[in-house]
Every structure is written in structure tokens, then in C-alpha cells.
Amino acid sequence: MPITPATAANSSSNGTGEAILLELVDEDGRTIGTAEKLSAHQAPGQLHRAFSVFLFDEQGRLLLQQRALGKYHSPGVWSNTCCGHPYPGEAPFAAAARRTYEELGVSPSLLAEAGTVRYNHPDPDSGLVEQEFNHLFVGMVQSPLRPDESEVGETAFVTAAELAERHANGTFSAWFMTVLDSARPAIRELTGPSAGW
């Protein structure tokens, strides 16, 4: 992946274990400061910039990921293809492409913006709070997945009907339905009416 000023300045791959900073925003999504990642998620939560990616295969099936059991926030639950936080100064589109590659080993095709959504979702299991201004993206996955096991437990491609069944019987992230519902118009445009989204 290309190195940008934002990723170079915020990468912890140098082994120093420096704190990861998030961009704090106001209700209109304007940057107002930064906060350390964990502190931004501790109750009551600080409103920060985030992104969510929804990738589909050629049959219009959504790629889900199960979050790795070692993650400190919402481990082991199913969620959308990829989600995360831009580094301060990093464009959400660039962050979405970067994290999709880091977590799943693929570069999205036809990645497009799908709006924003603001929400406040407490996680009852961890006590952490998702207080986010979330940038949504939809696109296609057209190459084999190479998931990072420290980030991703499992993956699955599902139809709209299969997702409804899984959601009724499985454990999903607290934010999943909020971001999915907000992205549906762009998802329908990408996958067409026959896919049922």
C-alpha cells in the first residue's frame, strides 16, 4: 500500500508501540482535535471519524468478516467487510482502502462513497462506546482473500436472505445494522435490484 504523510506519521510498525490517534469531530464531521483510540471509546465516548466498507462479489453477495477473538473491542462478532478509523489527516477513502488491504489482503474494485451516518452504540460486553461519524463505502472484491488472522477470525459471502437468517441467529457488532441500513441505497445501485439488498 502507498505511504502517505498521514500513514507514515501514524504507523506503529516501527515497533515502538506508540499510541494510535483518532480524529475527533463535531456533529457536522469537522475535525476538532485528536484522542488516543482506547480513550475515545471509553464511556461515554468521544465523537470521532470512522469508516465502514461493504464489498460484494460478482453474484451480489456481501463479504462479512468475523472479528478476531484477540481484538479488544467486539471480539468474535460478525460485522461488515471492514471498518476502522482514519489516522488524523488521512482521507476516509484512503483509510478504507488501506485497512481493507491490511485486514483482508485485497484491494477493493469500484470503491465508492455511500454517505455518512452518525451513531452512539454502547457495547454491553466490553463497556466501550462507539460514538462515531462514519463514512460509508461500497465496492467489489475480485481477487482471493488473504485475511490477517490477528484481525479476522472468519469470512463469509452471504446473500441478503442469508444475512437476515444469520443476523437473527448470530452475534453481530452493535453498529452493523446501522451502517448497513445507511449504505443500502448505494448497495442497491452497485448490486442491482435482483440481489435483494
Q: Is 132 a catalytic residue?
A: yes
One-letter amino acid of 99: R
Those residues with Cβ within 8 angstroms of residue 176's Cβ, 6 or more apart along the chain or in another chain: 78, 79, 80, 167
* Interacting residues of 189 by C-beta distance below 8 A, sequence separation 6+: none
Cell numbers at 11, concatenated: 504507523
Alpha-carbon distance of 95 to 48, in angstroms, equals 14
Of 23, 90, 103, 132, the catalytic one is 132
Verify whether residue 103 is a known catalytic residue.
Answer: no
**55-79: string of b/e by CB count within 10 Å (b at 16+)?**
bbeeebbbbbbbbbeeeebbeebbb
Q: Which listed residue (23, 82, 83, 103) is catalytic?
A: 83
Q: Are 152 and 68 in contact (CB under 8 A)?
A: yes
What are the distances in angstroms from CA 128 to CA 31, 39, 45, 46, 176? 22, 9, 8, 11, 16
Radius of gyration of the chain (CA): 16
Place of cell 483482508: 104
Query: Which positions are catalytic?
Result: 83, 132
